[in-house]
Amino acid sequence: MENLTEEIERSLSAAGWRPGRDVDTSEWRRRLEASGDVTMHEAARRFLAEYGGLSFPHAGTGVSMARQPFVLNPLLCLGEEDRFAEWGEEAEASIFPIGEFDEGRGGFLGIDEQGVLYQVVDSLSRFAEERAGLECLILGIAPEPLFE
């Protein structure tokens, strides 16, 4: 079986990531903050500067759930800002949209001010912080459901 670290690096590279990647997040900030429901905090800005715009089209067997495609493009969450705000209130966190999971069927992805990644649908589930959360998505590690 392939080393998981190698698999993560290969997936990141195939998606277009490289060390030192730094993309402009200002358009995402402007468009999503226009609703007044969400505010891009520093953890979201840092995460999106490094990983924003990347697409992971993979699928198949994962560690504890099926691997699903996901895209780290906050604009895929336009119109859902109120959902992020409501779940953020419930979790006592500011959850900023970062992308879409399973082509929208699996909901959306968000990040809080501590860098924790979430799956946001009609429920809220927590992955892990920043790079570890991204690795959960790549490897198919199920998030922890909250508020059951």
pLDDT, tens digit (0-9, with 9 covering 90-100), for 89-145: 999 999 999 999 988 788 999 999 999 999 999 999 999 999 999 999 999 999 999
Environment class of 41 (CB within 10 Å of its CB; exposed 0-12, middle 13-18, buried 19+): middle
Q: Is 9 helix (H, G, I), strand (E, B) or coil?
A: helix
Q: Mean of the pLDDT values across residues 18-26?
A: 96
pLDDT at 4 over 70: no
d(CA 10, CA 103): 21
**Predicted confidence (pLDDT) at residue 2 exceeds the cutoff of 60:** no
Q: Which structural domain range is residue 33 located in?
A: 4-146
Q: Rounded to whole angstroms, how far apart are CA atoms 8 and 2?
A: 10
43 — pLDDT class (breaks 50, 70, 90): very high
Q: Span 58-66, mean pLDDT?
A: 91
Write the DSSP assignment of 37-77 as a string of letters: S----HHHHHHHHHHTT-EE---B--SSS-B--EE--GGGG
Which has the minimum average pLDDT: 42-46, 63-67, 102-106, 127-131? 102-106
Q: Report the side by side order of strands in the sheet with 116-120.
A: 55-56, 70-71, 96-101, 108-111, 116-120, 124-129, 144-146
pLDDT at 1 over 60: no
What pLDDT was estimated at residue 96? 98
Helices (H), the chain: 4-15, 26-33, 42-51, 81-91, 130-139
CATH of residue 67? 3.40.1580
What pLDDT was estimated at residue 16?
Answer: 96
pTM recorded for the entire structure: 0.94
Total domains present in the chain: 1
Average pLDDT, rounded, for the chain: 93
Cβ-based neighbours of 79, under 8 Å, separated by 6 or more: none
| Confidence check: pLDDT of 24 > 70 | yes
